[in-house]
Amino acid sequence: MAVSTVKEVFEQHIPAKLQAKPDVVTRIAAVYQFNISGPGGGTWGVDCTAPGGKVSEGAPASPKCTVAATEQDFLNIVNGKLNPQMAFMSGKLKIQGDMGLAMKLQQILV
């Protein structure tokens, strides 16, 4: 199901993915920060160290991986219209921190 807002991604889409894939949450065991620019963007945290995973608005305390993108590029990635690797290579997706964790992120985003 396609998502239309960044808020929807973090309040519905990602929590549903975390709940459906508890084994992935356990394997990732790290904290992510998302900096999404644009009028519907914001800063969000995804904590895969918490049991079952936890999503919160605002910057998490100590993220191991930070992801930055525009609102539109982020929604295109989540909706499968933009390949995350191509977005990274073209500069539309910026990653700071652990690149290995960035690769695992696809399991809970797409």
pLDDT for 110 beyond 90: no
Q: What is the extent of the structural domain holding 75?
A: 6-109
pLDDT value for 1: 67
Residue 31 has pLDDT above 80, yes or no: yes
pLDDT at 2: 87
How far is residue 25's CA from residue 17's CA, in Å, rounded to a whole number?
Answer: 9
Number of domains in the chain: 1
Q: What is the pLDDT of residues 10-29, one digit of tens each?
A: 999 999 999 999 999 999 99
Phi first, then psi, for residue 33 (nearest 5°) are -120, 135
Q: Evaluate whether residue 53 is within a structural domain.
A: yes
Asked if residue 1 belongs to a domain, the reply is no
The pLDDT, as a whole number, for residue 100 is 93
Report the CATH number at residue 42.
3.30.1050.10
30 burial level (CB within 10 Å; 0-12, 13-18, 19+): buried
pLDDT tens digits for range 71-107 = 999 999 999 999 999 999 999 999 999 999 999 988 8
